Structure 1
Amino acid sequence: MAAEKATTQTAAALLATQCSRAYFDLVAQGGPIGVTVGPSSPGGVAIHVEFRGVPDSLGNSVYLEPADQVPMEALNGVRYQHSGFGVALVAFALPCSDRPICHLYPPEGVFRPVTMWLEAPADPKHHDDTPVLVLQNTVLQPEHVAGSNHYALAEDRSAPYAQLLERSRLKRLAWWGMIGGAELGKRSGLFLLDDYDPNKTPIIMIHGLGSSPVIWARLSNAIMGDPELHRRYQIWHIVYQSNAPLLVERYRVQHYIDGAWAILDPDGHAHARQGVVLIGHSMGGVIARLLCAQSTPAVWDAAFSVPVENLHADATDLTALRRVFQFKPYPGVDEIIFMAAPQRGSPSAEGLLGRLVGLLAWRNIEELAGFARIAVENPKAIQPVVLSMLQTGRITSITSLRPDEPVTLADEKLMPAAGVRYDTIAGVLPGVKPPGDGYVPLSSALLPGSTTTLIIHSNHQVPMKPEAIADALKILREHDATHDALSSAPP
């Protein structure tokens, strides 16, 4: 492979790749193999394992599986890969617990793309002829150098994500989370789809009611599969229990983002804190808008008839109340992409399904317990409609999506702060009255002031549609160019 003749280089690289795959298939016997840095003997064959640029998230021990054996059903059959030197593998590590950042890795484990090959020991003076099994991170080190020759590595960026999706229980837990099931609440938080990079712009994706980050599978795959976008952006997924009222959900999501920054950038100086992009689907889009808005007295007045200072309650309950009703635009965000977001509520919340879910969803809303205690001590300070909902336990995510709900009527007027660009993607189906995607009317999904608006033929699953994905990628490229121009402009 270090030869000067091009035909020799090509033939040697192909032979090395074929031999490396044959070795893997021999020791794996159709299943994954486990290896640890240093001396190892998978399948009884002695080797020395060497990690090159492999991220810390994988630790020192991984399980390996050929990328081409991972099914792509979870990603609609779309696989981003390219051929090259070595064998493209999925490296999988069990969840860690010894560092704060472990809390930001999916509980299913860490899945990353690596490329494997066998080579001779670097220093024959040691008289050790044990072959070296190299695992190299294709994201940080996309080439292998032999002599003066550079070989692009084989790579499969989709297989690790597909493997994570195959193992995930989120899709099954999402519905139960909406109606009060506690399991999704235990799983809630912000999770890194990539290894954290202080210089890459975060894209924070917020799912909707009764949903999960699985809704972002195809879009996330497309971003990671685009070399230029993936070089500039890192993907973060929010998981939240979607049973609480909108302002409570907004508070929860802010809490998850704050917690992630406290772990990743405690000093607050990372370049990644600027130019953050939010993408929200359905109720997640409304949460994204509220995250970038300034609360007003009208929102407070929709629920209370006296100032917060006049309420008699436990200090902890009052602090939680202030955090839910009094908020500022989240710092660092300058782009939002709304997908099928009911910015002015949804008639579906008033239908039979909405009423049924509303009867169940009040369970396990910890924040409302404090609000209920405040209502008991200050019944005349609560607006009658809100007081009735608190007393009956009927104030939930469903009720807060009803177009006539008092707090919703107030908070729907809250717009993203100046300097935050936002784009809207909405779906419409033939024959649906009023026009919309079957759940969100077009009149509710379209938001005045959007930089761009795209209406596509789609049901409510807008983020899964090719047209929506293509538009989101276009918006991200334009945001990237704009952010670069602003960053390089003289002060």
Structure 2
Amino acid sequence: CDLYNLGLTAAFPAPVSLAAQERALPFGIIDLAADPAQLRWQGRILENLRPTATLAVGGIGNVYRTPGLGEPLTALGRPDPAYPNMAVPPSTARAATPDGDDTDRFSISDRLRVPASLLLEIDDPRAQVLTEHLHGRLVLRVMDDSPDTRIGQATVPAEYDQTAARALSLRDSALWAQEYTGFLQGTTFDGTHPHLVAMTPHRPGNMPVVFVHGTASSPYRWASMVNDLLEDRRIRDHFDFWFYSYATSSPIPYSAWELRRAITQAVDSLGGVKADPALGHITVVGHSQGGLLARMLVINPGDRLWNGTAGRPLSTFRLDRRTRQMVRETMFPTPMPEIQRVVFIATPQHGSYLAGMSLAQWVGSMASLPLRVSETAREILTGSGDSTHLASRVFRLGSVYAMSPRSAFMRTLPTIPIMPDVHAHSIIPVCGNGEPLATADDGVVAYASAHIPDVDSELVVRHSEHSTQSNPFTIAEVRRILLLQLAANPDLAPRKVQAPASPTIATPQAPRP
């Protein structure tokens, strides 16, 4: 297999063309047929095929490959306009909100690469090799979606370099270098509006897992965790991975509201829970500030969050309709029924002592806020009749201020319980050499702040700093929780998407050597 695979890699270097072609041989020529329908995959068209056999991978904890037969490739997928009615989402989903905002908040990634494998099949090869004119076929396999290859009486799996494909996706974009710039500019890490990105097209029956990164961070921080989780076939076959990107300097209630709208738009664009019950069994995994956003989706505070933060009932403010609507949507959240489970990782449930430091708050004051947030804050102050009372409360709703243990928001949020029908889990990293948990921390958040009662489980990850997403114990715990989610929903099963029919490719029946 290795000799065959490396031979194909040498014969078909980048860019690999999956088209009919003629190749010269030392003793003649070979005509190669290729069915272009093979490039259609789950409502996408595969392009930019690149070999991975000779790539070395670094920067990711574990490197996985599936040994077998075929030249390992990786491909990008773009929307297939020829099949708009297939049971997969389009590249972007758009839904207008009551205020007229029709921003795209859900999309399928156009940067993540698909592991694939290329075969060269020859009918009756021992007879053909004695001639000067050979005929063969180029056959493309996509990981998990293609059958094994029959050679004589043997069944041989295809070769894939899945980690190399994922690493190449990261290297080609390299957007993680802009995380701090995005924080200060008040944008997402890549300068776009907040949005939810699916790793692959949704498969009916798959339960979504939403990963929400922390402050001055990006979805790339989940790379090692996702690389490990996808190696469990049960997780790969029953879950879809979605990643939320947001302006991490914005107020936490505002970012949580944007996340809520993105998830709602995603579910609606996929037909809703009635069309696919799996969309009603969402797991949200939040790191640091991302955990606070997740919590905002599974609580029912009524007016407690607003009153505790602003110090006065909303009815005492003179606000125009648009501002009042914004306040109600961000500060009076209701639990999302689609979210069944939340995982808090290094989450400052009672605030971060680092955010309370003067230097951190000075940096936070340099960050830009969305225009709509600034306008709402000014309107609230104008309509309060007592700007002195609220100045330190309203204009300190940026994420850094809000995560200070002394902030009114942070003192109020922990008093609001998570809905009893939501399963909650805590993963809490701590540094040091076995200090008592009462005094332990991860360099950003103290254990006492991350700990909350009444969760389904709590795992303390020793000798780990705040960015614990790549820690093998953290990854193993997330894997355990997802398998628990799968066991709790045994009736949900992925349903195959009906792709366009393609001509049947004959199986070569060569004698075994």
TM-score range, shorter chain: 0.7 to 0.9
- The 5 A counterparts of 1:92-103 are 92-93=76-77, 101-103=90-92
Could you say which residue in structure 2 is the equivalent of 1:7? none
Task: Give the distance between the partners of 2:168 and 2:213, measured in 1 at CA.
Answer: 20
1:473 aligns with 2:479: yes
1:71 aligns with 2:56: yes
Could you say which residue in structure 2 is the equivalent of 1:115? 117
1:85 aligns with 2:69: yes
Preserved CA contact (<8 Å) 1:138 1:155: yes
Matched to 2:54, the amino acid is Q
Q: Determine helix, strand or coil for the equivalent of 1:115.
A: strand
Could you say which residue in structure 2 is the equivalent of 1:417? 419
Q: Determine helix, strand or coil for the equivalent of 1:91.
A: strand
Pick closer, same or farther for the CA change 1:179–1:472 going to 2, 3 Å: same
Matched to 2:15, the amino acid is I
Preserved CA contact (<8 Å) 2:205 2:492: no
Residues 52-99 of structure 1 show CA distances to partners (whole Å, capped at 9, x for unaligned) of: 48524641x5122223334322322x1222211222211124688997
Report deviation, 1:40. Answer: 5.3
Could you say which residue in structure 2 is the equivalent of 1:323? 329
Pick closer, same or farther for the CA change 1:187–1:300 going to 2, 3 Å: closer
Preserved CA contact (<8 Å) 1:70 1:162: no
Could you say which residue in structure 2 is the equivalent of 1:368? 373
Could you say which residue in structure 1 is the equivalent of 2:346? 340
Task: Give the distance between the partners of 1:41 and 1:342, measured in 2 at CA.
Answer: 62
Matched to 1:417, the amino acid is M
Pick closer, same or farther for the CA change 1:368–1:386 going to 2, 3 Å: farther
Matched to 1:249, the amino acid is S
Task: Count how many residue pairs are aligned between Structure 1 and Structure 2.
Answer: 457
Residues 150-205 of structure 1 show CA distances to partners (whole Å, capped at 9, x for unaligned) of: 33222232222111111234312221222234463515311111231121111111
- The 5 A counterparts of 1:44-443 are 47-50=32-35, 51-52=37-38, 54-56=40-42, 58-59=44-45, 61-76=46-61, 78-93=62-77, 101-103=90-92, 104-105=106-107, 109-120=111-122, 131-145=136-150, 149-182=154-187, 184=189, 185-186=191-192, 188-266=194-272, 268-304=274-310, 307-308=313-314, 311-361=317-367, 363-380=368-385, 386-390=390-394, 393-430=395-432, 434-443=439-448
Give the share of equivalent positions with the same residue, in percent. 21
Residues 197-221 of structure 1 show CA distances to partners (whole Å, capped at 9, x for unaligned) of: 1211111111101111122111111
Between stretches 174-183 and 95-104, larger displacement belongs to 95-104
Structure 2 stretches lacking a partner, 5+ long: 93-105, 125-132, 494-513
Structure 1 stretches lacking a partner, 5+ long: 1-13, 123-127
Q: TM-score normalised to the size of structure 2? A: 0.80
Matched to 2:391, the amino acid is L
Cα root mean square deviation, aligned = 3.1
Report deviation, 1:24. Answer: 3.4
Pick closer, same or farther for the CA change 1:414–1:148 going to 2, 3 Å: farther
Report deviation, 1:246. Answer: 1.4
Task: Give the distance between the partners of 2:215 and 2:79, measured in 1 at CA.
Answer: 27
Task: Give the distance between the partners of 1:79 and 1:166, measured in 2 at CA.
Answer: 15
Task: Give the distance between the partners of 2:165 and 2:193, measured in 1 at CA.
Answer: 21
Pick the structure with more helix per residue: 1
Pick closer, same or farther for the CA change 1:237–1:438 going to 2, 3 Å: same
Preserved CA contact (<8 Å) 2:323 2:376: yes
Report deviation, 1:19. Answer: 4.2
Q: Determine helix, strand or coil for the equivalent of 2:296.
A: helix
Matched to 1:274, the amino acid is G
Matched to 1:202, the amino acid is P
Pick closer, same or farther for the CA change 1:20–1:320 going to 2, 3 Å: same
Between stretches 67-76 and 292-301, larger displacement belongs to 67-76
1:448 aligns with 2:448: no
Matched to 2:357, the amino acid is G
Q: TM-score normalised to the size of structure 1? A: 0.84
Q: Determine helix, strand or coil for the equivalent of 1:484.
A: coil
Matched to 1:39, the amino acid is A
Report deviation, 1:315. Answer: 2.3
Q: Determine helix, strand or coil for the equivalent of 2:286.
A: strand
Task: Give the distance between the partners of 1:232 and 1:342, measured in 2 at CA.
Answer: 30
Pick closer, same or farther for the CA change 1:305–1:56 going to 2, 3 Å: same
